């Protein structure tokens, strides 16, 4: 009786139950009304999956991930293996690469599911729509569906039934997501009536969650977006390609994306993968770009993952004769490739379109440069969705107003990582998320065992207390988290209950605050407007101007002309300055500097009301070039000066752009 469903006081009791679910189909095994509405402060509740791949079976040539999220022909058609996996999995080559062994398995899905889906089976559909429905019924209210593919993996994989163009796959996966929304709507009586709602702005998402439904956000995670690959370090795309690509994705409903993933591209260098998988991806990078990963000493405490050095024989066989994967110095753990000029243009292009940047998978050098750009404009739209950002940057993300989620690790690991960042969540008053990365070839929590002292005890109540969850059954197979682990998406509520058993209610409470925090980041991103640069095209002067090239103008006004392709450059001495007359007194709080390669290691920002008497508003002795943002207490000034004290290079000082802001 204690675990019986809570009677609904809603006038539309049963709204969550479809009137025309296909038969046969998967069970949901959750009873009770999904929670809806807001709290007394107007805040929504619910869990956030910030990183999932519902439609990845449509990418990679169509035969890497076997099975579909839905099918008009029913569950038996949706949940069946790839044809080459029959009769015993002997040709499941990708299964061998990702899992090890000989790839053999029982290929039969519906109705027996003897060997898949499973927590360690990386090649079979885990996102069947009814399993996602179970996660929604268990309290999930935001799901980011990252459209995903990889052209190189597609091209080298033996089995495919379509081409390998990445943007073609992204378009198809977007359309299939809209098709799935229509498929679910049909069960509930027509357009707009189902629980699976694709949203394109935060207000729409907030209303969907208020109604008790699942807000689905489209993202993109692909290795060479817009055709922006690099071959032998030469970019294969242009700024025009980036603008066209971003406009197209925005039109499809995409609101967050990665700029690089797995392979270095024309935009940025990646955060490495480890072990044999890392070796295989490094091989893939060479096959795509003609270059292997290059490493260097890290310049700060942040670092990339240890580079993959373990052998990956299946992948290494693809290398040309005489070509081998290089070895790497143990102390050089950072990707030498950072954010390129095209990458910086893409970051600013996303900011212009008020899109959220996924920082995971960027190497720390590239990520640091992206943070620099976003900080220069106080841009909040930054997401770390599945534990691929160095934890040392968590506060940097929260300061901007971004959102962080953790990979769907086992409950012990998840709660330990959550504890490491708990003080920062409390400091910035934010919730937490998870990134399941299902269908993303990552591996998921295994079973803790039936004999663990604190197992998940079925049935159990959802985190809000309003529904009851029992073991999940599809066909003739029933899954138990204690003995099966997180085998498919429907096990998300069970996994959260396991987190409660291991880590306590506090972790679950932070997760329940995730939906509100995610929407806060999204809303702030949408409302962000670039501030007016008070120094734009103002009178400028400098201590010196570089003169050696009579065909290029390096005059001080080039630092405030709004063109990042021009620059002011000084003579090659330490003590140099450039200053700007704002025309009248303004309250100054922030100065941004976009350095050319000739940067200042030590410099100060000086302000003056009369151009004669100067005071230091901000200074540093650890400048490292790139984009710097100097923030200081509100100071009235008409004149602003950048005063170089010590050069960071053998050259002088050179600035592409200087921004002066009151906000």
Q: Is residue 72 part of a domain?
A: no
Residue 310 and residue 435 in one domain: no
- Maximum distance among all Cα pairs of the chain, rounded to whole angstroms: 88
Q: How many CB atoms lie within 10 A of CB 624?
A: 15
Q: What percent of the chain has pLDDT over 90?
A: 88
520: which 2 tokens?
């806060």
β-strand partners of 362: 270
Based on the domain organization, do 549 and 453 belong to the same domain?
no
Residue 139 lies in a domain: yes
234 part of a folded domain: yes
Segment 110-116 shows an average pLDDT of 97
- Shared domain for 277 and 349, answered yes or no, is no
Residue 2 falls inside a structural domain: no
CA dist 316 and 320 (Å) reads 9
pLDDT at 157: 86
Q: Is the pLDDT at 99 greater than 90, yes or no?
A: no
How much is the pLDDT for 7? 41
Rounded Cα gap, residues 303 and 365, in angstroms: 9
User: Among the listed ranges 12-26, 350-364, 595-609, which one has the minimum average pLDDT value?
Assistant: 12-26
Same domain, 171 and 230: yes
Lowest mean pLDDT among 120-124, 154-158, 355-359, 574-578: 154-158
177 is a domain residue: yes
Tell whether the model's pLDDT for residue 5 goes beyond 50.
Answer: no
Query: Which tens digit of pLDDT belongs to each residue from 551-591?
Result: 899 999 999 999 999 999 999 999 999 999 999 999 999 99
**Which has the minimum average pLDDT: 94-103, 135-144, 153-162, 221-230?**
94-103
600 shares its domain with 621: yes
Burial class (CB in 10 A: 0-12, 13-18, 19+), 86: middle
pLDDT at 302 over 90: yes
pLDDT at 1 over 50: no
Concatenated DSSP letters for 395-412? HHHHHHT-EEEEE---HH
For 218-277, what is each residue's pLDDT tens digit? 999 999 999 999 999 999 999 999 999 999 999 999 999 999 999 999 999 999 998 888
Do 204 and 308 sit in the same domain of this protein? Answer: no
For residues 402-421, average pLDDT: 97
pLDDT at res. 308:
75
Specify the number of domains making up the chain.
3
Answer yes or no: is pLDDT of 365 > 90.
yes
**pLDDT reading at 10 higher than 50:** no
Four-CA torsion 452, 458, 464, 465, nearest 10 degrees: -120
The pLDDT tens digits for 44-73 are: 999 999 999 999 999 999 999 999 999 999
Counting DSSP H helices and E strands in the chain, the numbers are 18, 25
Domain boundary among 527, 548, 564: 527
| Residue 512: CATH number of its domain | 3.20.20.140
Are residue 516 and residue 383 in the same domain, yes or no? yes
Tell me, yes or no, whether 230 and 277 share the same domain.
Answer: no
Examine residue 473 and state whether it is found in any structural domain, yes or no: yes
Is 475 in the same domain as 407? yes
From the list 432, 458, 457, the residue with the least C-alpha distance to 512 is 432
- Amino acid 11: pLDDT: 36
Mean pLDDT of 327-347: 94
The domain that holds 612 is classified in CATH as 2.60.120.260
**Residue where the block lists tokens 């409950």:** 411
Q: What tens digit of pLDDT does each residue of 486-518 get?
A: 999 999 999 999 999 999 999 999 999 999 999
Domain-terminating residue out of 465, 495, 527: 527
Question: Do 162 and 143 share a structural domain?
Answer: yes
How far is Cα 282 from Cα 270, in angstroms, rounded to an integer?
Answer: 11
Domain that holds residue 482: 31-62+129-257+343-357+366-527
350 and 444 share a domain? Answer: yes
In a domain, 440, yes or no: yes
Task: Note the pLDDT of residue 331.
Answer: 86
Distances (CA, A) of 250 to 83, 175, 201: 35, 14, 11
H/E stretch holding 527 reads: helix 514-527
End position of a domain, from candidates 465, 492, 527? 527
Tens of pLDDT, residues 454-468: 999 999 999 999 999
- Per-residue pLDDT at 663 exceeds 80: no
Residue 25, domain member (yes or no)? no
Instruction: Give the pLDDT of residue 153.
Output: 87
State how far the Cα of 64 lies from the Cα of 173, in Å rounded to an integer: 14
If asked whether residues 494 and 546 sit together in one domain, one would say no
Residue 192 has pLDDT above 60, yes or no: yes
């Amino acid at each position: 009786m204690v675990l019986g469903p809570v009677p609904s006081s809603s006038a539309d009791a049963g709204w969550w139950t479809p009137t025309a679910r296909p038969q046969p189909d998967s069970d949901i095994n959750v009873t009770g009304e999904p929670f809806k509405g807001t709290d007394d402060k107007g805040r929504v509740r619910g869990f956030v999956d910030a990183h999932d791949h519902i439609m990845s079976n449509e990418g990679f040539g169509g035969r890497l991930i076997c099975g579909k999220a839905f099918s008009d022909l029913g569950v038996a058609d949706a949940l069946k293996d790839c044809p080459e996996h029959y009769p015993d999995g002997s040709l499941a080559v990708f299964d061998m690469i990702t899992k090890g062994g000989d790839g053999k398995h029982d290929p039969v899905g519906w109705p027996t599911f003897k060997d898949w889906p499973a927590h360690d089976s990386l090649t079979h559909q885990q996102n069947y729509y009814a399993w996602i429905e179970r996660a929604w019924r268990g309290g999930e209210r935001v799901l980011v569906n990252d459209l995903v593919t990889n052209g190189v993996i597609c091209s080298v994989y033996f089995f495919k039934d379509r081409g390998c163009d990445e943007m073609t796959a992204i378009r198809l996966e977007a359309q299939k997501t809209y098709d799935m929304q229509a498929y679910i709507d049909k069960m509930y009586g027509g357009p707009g009536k189902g629980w699976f709602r694709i949203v394109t702005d935060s207000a729409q998402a907030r209303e969907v969650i208020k109604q008790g439904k699942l807000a689905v956000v489209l993202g993109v995670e692909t290795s060479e977006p817009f055709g922006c690959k690099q071959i032998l370090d030469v970019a294969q795309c242009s700024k025009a390609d980036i603008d066209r690509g971003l406009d197209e994705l925005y039109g499809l409903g995409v609101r967050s994306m990665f700029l690089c993933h797995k392979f270095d591209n024309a935009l940025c260098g990646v955060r490495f993968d480890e072990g044999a998988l890392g070796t295989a991806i490094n091989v893939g990078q060479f096959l795509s770009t003609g270059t292997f990963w290059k490493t260097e000493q890290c310049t700060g405490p942040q670092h990339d993952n240890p580079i993959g050095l373990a052998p990956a024989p299946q992948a290494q066989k693809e290398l040309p004769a005489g070509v081998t994967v290089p070895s790497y110095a143990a102390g050089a753990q950072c990707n030498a490739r950072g954010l390129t000029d095209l990458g910086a243009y893409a970051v600013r292009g996303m900011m212009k379109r008020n899109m959220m940047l996924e920082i995971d998978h960027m190497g720390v050098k590239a990520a640091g440069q992206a943070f620099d750009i976003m900080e220069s404009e106080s841009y909040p739209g930054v997401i770390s969705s599945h534990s691929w950002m160095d934890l040392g940057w968590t506060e940097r993300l929260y300061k901007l107003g971004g959102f962080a989620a953790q990979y769907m690790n086992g409950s012990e690991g998840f709660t330990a990582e959550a504890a490491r960042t708990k003080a920062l969540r409390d400091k910035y008053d934010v919730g937490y998320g998870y990134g399941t990365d299902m269908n993303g070839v990552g591996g998921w929590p295994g079973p803790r065992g039936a004999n663990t002292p604190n197992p998940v005890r079925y049935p159990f109540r959802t985190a809000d207390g309003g529904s009851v969850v029992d073991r999940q059954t599809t066909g003739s197979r029933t899954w138990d988290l204690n003995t099966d682990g997180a085998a498919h998406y429907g096990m998300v509520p069970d996994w959260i209950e396991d987190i409660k058993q291991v880590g306590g209610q506090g972790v679950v409470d932070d997760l329940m605050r995730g939906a509100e925090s995610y929407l806060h980041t999204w809303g702030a991103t949408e409302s962000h407007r670039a501030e007016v640069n008070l120094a734009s095209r103002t009178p400028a002067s400098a201590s010196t101007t570089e003169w050696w090239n009579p065909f290029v103008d390096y005059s001080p006004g080039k630092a405030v002309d709004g063109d990042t392709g021009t620059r002011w450059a000084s003579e090659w001495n330490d003590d140099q300055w450039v200053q700007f007359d704002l025309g009248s007194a303004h309250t100054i709080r922030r100065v941004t500097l976009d350095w050319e390669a000739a940067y200042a290691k030590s410099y100060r920002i000086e302000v003056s009301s009369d151009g004669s008497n100067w005071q230091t508003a901000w200074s540093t002795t650890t400048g490292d070039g790139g984009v710097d943002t100097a923030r200081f207490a509100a100071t009235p000034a008409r004149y602003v000066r950048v005063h170089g004290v010590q050069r960071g290079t053998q050259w002088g000082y050179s600035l592409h752009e200087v921004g002066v802001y009151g906000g």
